[in-house]
């Protein structure tokens, strides 16, 4: 076994690799950018080396600096994690040339499978079914447009060297092809340094099913069954589970053997994933097509670990040392069901716009970290409470993994764990994930990549907690604060007692964008009445410690968790959550002045392009600009009809969150 390895990554995967290395007695070296100087993965490793500036291209993608750091620290091997350099054949070869072990496949395997078009050509020779499409090297836009017409719309444009949904666009009409192609190529170039794309028929009701494979240097290869990753937004995975619901033993073996054959065809070593698009037939069986092979460990590997009981990172390290696989195919078995939820800093109700800012509160259910557990949820995260989510990297905060004896139990455990996940300070998708898990399609395993769109009415713009319960959380926090100010001197007590009548305290609140008035009335007999927009509710509260409260509201008992951050009170209950703003009308009387008439950046990022120029008349909803943030492109639309008076930034400029990109005047 290695004595020391360098982990060429960041965030939760760097922490994940460090956890297994620690169990094996292997020392670890972290690398970090300026933005990550105090990050959790730096603390998780035994040593840390600074490799550059904030942007990935200035730090985590500078492989020559990473190799220098490995040599300087005495590391014998480099684990690339996933993303960044994990599928970079040049980096893998450079490691070998520098006398370092690359904990992954040989460079030739990465090269063969790293190009989607080349990989499809290999699979075609091997007889693996392919989705109809154009996989050639000529990327002339006119040729690609003609090929799209030949294939038939809708089509999918995909970055040949890409993954994770970046550089991928569905196109439904020929007139939209050119713009989608340009956006795909820019995103692919920024994320992978390669703008080559392929075009395929878009399977209208596809399931995304992938097979985990593992190969050693002695020629042994196994598949560790499948994962269903069909629940996606913007071509990025949201929920992953293993095994795939409805998968027959015959089809599982067929897909597994095809995946192993694909790995053998390129002389594969280590952990890899062969991804398939599957269509459900009338008899309930599946027809599958090869999509791509990811020559690395996948984000969703924990669900495979949960159902097999094997640590895949440990396998990676042992195989990289030359050891054989620890089991044969007939020794592998599926046990139970596991589901992973990706918790991201994003706003689902704003087209999953990434969010940045401080993670003021991060409270998780009772859990384990980076290891398999049958009973407790597993939380893999690279962040601690108080950390900042920056715009330089992807938006994932954590992965929440649950295991159950069957899918029904796993679903119940996942919902309970999400209900106990309290994140405050910026938008997250936790409430959205609960709605997806509870949706009819997911609960009944009616899975395909259009599930989120199909369930849109139930998933988006859903109301939070009922208004009385949300405001009761504010009341509980206020009453508990008053109790902490009480003194033994009766004249200093702040319990609302009055010689004649009761006491009243008014709160101006903002709930779901609407101004609400709440009054707490302390009656002469000691009872408390909460009045919300004129409706009276009997309320009593008891602090439970650690931000917890027991609240009796109109005779019903509720258990709440309440966190106050600045002017925001976040209230969490079993049925959902709410953010309530405590509003001082006088202090904010001048807010918003001058904001009208501009298109503001919803997050920090770079201006990629403008689709309007000064003097243009535009309509509400028209695309005006494209920004890049968190490795994705985001289109910004006109907030109202008007005339573009002035562009305030140039293409390529960095813009702070809230910065006005252009000035929009009313049309004459």
> Looking at the annotation, which residues are catalytic?
296
Whether the CA torsion 399, 404, 406, 407 is positive or negative: it is negative
C-alpha span between 273 and 213 (Å, rounded): 6
Return the H-helix or E-strand segment holding 70: helix 63-73
In sequence order, the 6+-apart residues with CB closer than 8 A to the CB of 562 are 473, 474, 476, 477, 547, 549, 569, 570, 571, 572
C-alpha span between 539 and 477 (Å, rounded): 13
Greatest CA separation found in the chain? 91
Instruction: Find out whether 130 and 288 touch, Cβ atoms under 8 Å.
Output: no
On the CB side of 299, how many CA atoms lie within 13 Å of its CA? 25
Distances in whole angstroms, Cα of residue 552 to Cα of each of 407, 512, 528, 559? 35, 23, 11, 9
Backbone angles phi, psi at 388, to 5 degrees: -100, 135
Instruction: Find out whether 450 and 464 touch, Cβ atoms under 8 Å.
Output: no
| Of 605, 101, 129, residue with least CA distance to 320 | 101
C-alpha span between 147 and 473 (Å, rounded): 58
C-alpha span between 39 and 208 (Å, rounded): 33
Q: Please tell me what DSSP assigns to residue 602.
A: S
On the CB side of 320, how many CA atoms lie within 13 Å of its CA? 28
| Of 627, 23, 62, 137, residue with least CA distance to 356 | 627
CA 477 to chain centre: 31
C-alpha span between 418 and 402 (Å, rounded): 10
Structure-block tokens of residue 150 = 């030949």
- In this structure, the chain runs to a length of 668
In sequence order, the 6+-apart residues with CB closer than 8 A to the CB of 398 are 12, 343, 364, 379, 380, 381, 382, 383
C-alpha span between 363 and 480 (Å, rounded): 20
Helix, strand, or coil (residue 36)? helix
Structure-block tokens of residue 2 = 């290695």
Return the H-helix or E-strand segment holding 667: none
Instruction: Find out whether 483 and 541 touch, Cβ atoms under 8 Å.
Output: no
C-alpha span between 455 and 451 (Å, rounded): 6
């Amino acid at each position: 076994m290695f004595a020391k390895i360098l982990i060429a990554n960041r965030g939760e995967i760097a922490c994940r690799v460090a956890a297994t290395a620690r169990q094996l007695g292997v020392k670890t070296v972290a690398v970090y950018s300026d933005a990550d100087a105090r990050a959790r993965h730096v603390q998780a490793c035994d040593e840390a080396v600074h490799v550059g500036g904030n942007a990935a291209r200035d730090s985590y993608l500078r492989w020559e600096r990473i190799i220098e750091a490995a040599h300087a620290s005495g590391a014998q091997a480099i684990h690339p994690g996933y993303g960044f350099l994990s599928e970079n054949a040049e980096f893998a070869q450079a490691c070998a040339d520098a006398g370092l072990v690359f904990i992954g496949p040989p460079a030739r395997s990465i090269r063969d499978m790293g190009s989607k078009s080349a990989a499809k050509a290999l699979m075609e020779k091997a007889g693996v079914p392919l989705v109809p499409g154009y996989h050639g090297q000529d990327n002339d836009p006119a040729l690609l447009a003609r090929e799209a017409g030949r294939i038939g719309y809708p089509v999918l444009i995909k970055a040949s060297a890409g993954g994770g949904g970046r550089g991928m666009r569905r196109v439904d009409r020929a007139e939209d092809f050119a713009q989608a192609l340009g956006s795909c190529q820019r995103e692919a170039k920024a994320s992978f340094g390669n703008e080559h794309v392929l075009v395929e028929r878009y399977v209208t009701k596809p399931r995304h099913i992938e097979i985990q494979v593992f190969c050693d240097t002695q020629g042994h290869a196994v598949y560790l069954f499948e994962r269903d990753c069909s629940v996606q937004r913007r071509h990025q995975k949201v929920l992953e589970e293993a095994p795939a619901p409805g998968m027959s033993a015959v089809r599982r073996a067929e897909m597994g053997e095809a995946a192993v054959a694909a790995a053998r065809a390129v002389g594969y070593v280590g952990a890899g994933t062969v991804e398939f698009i599957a269509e459900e037939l009338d008899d309930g069986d599946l027809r599958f097509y090869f999509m791509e092979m990811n020559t690395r460990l996948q984000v969703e590997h924990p669900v495979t670990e949960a159902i097999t009981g094997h640590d895949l990172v440990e396998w990676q390290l042992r195989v990289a040392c030359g050891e054989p696989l620890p089991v044969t195919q007939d020794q592998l078995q599926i046990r139970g069901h596991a589901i992973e939820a990706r918790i991201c800093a994003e706003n689902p109700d704003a087209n999953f716009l990434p969010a940045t800012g401080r993670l003021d509160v991060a409270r998780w259910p009772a859990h384990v970290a980076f290891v398999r557990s049958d009973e407790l949820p597993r939380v893999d995260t690279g962040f601690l409470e108080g950390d900042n989510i920056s715009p330089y990297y992807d938006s994932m905060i954590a992965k929440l993994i649950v295991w159950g004896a069957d899918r029904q139990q796993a679903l119940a455990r996942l919902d309970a764990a999400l209900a106990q996940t309290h994140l405050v300070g910026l938008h997250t998708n936790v409430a959205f994930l609960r709605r997806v898990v509870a949706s009819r399609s997911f609960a009944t395993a009616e899975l395909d990549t259009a599930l989120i769109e199909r369930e849109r009415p139930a998933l988006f713009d859903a109301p939070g907690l009922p208004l009385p319960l949300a405001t009761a959380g504010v009341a509980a926090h206020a009453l508990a604060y008053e109790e902490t100010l009480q003194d033994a001197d009766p004249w200093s007590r702040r319990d609302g007692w009055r010689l004649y009548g009761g006491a009243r305290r008014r709160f101006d609140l903002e709930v779901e964008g609407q101004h609400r008035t709440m009054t707490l009335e302390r009656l002469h007999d000691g009872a408390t009445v909460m009045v919300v927009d004129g409706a009276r509710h009997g309320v009593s509260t008891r602090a439970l410690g650690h931000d917890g409260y027991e609240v009796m509201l109109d005779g019903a008992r509720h258990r709440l968790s309440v966190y106050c951050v600045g002017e925001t009170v976040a209230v969490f209950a079993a049925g959902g959550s709410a953010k309530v703003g405590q509003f001082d009308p006088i202090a904010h009387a001048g807010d918003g002045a001058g904001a009208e008439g501009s298109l503001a950046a919803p997050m920090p990022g770079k201006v990629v392009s403008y689709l309007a120029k000064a003097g243009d008349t535009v309509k509400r909803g028209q695309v005006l600009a494209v920004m890049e943030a968190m490795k994705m492109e985001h289109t910004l639309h006109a907030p109202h009809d008007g005339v573009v008076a002035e562009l305030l930034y140039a293409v390529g400029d960095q813009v702070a969150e809230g910065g006005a990109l252009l000035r929009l005047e009313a049309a004459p």
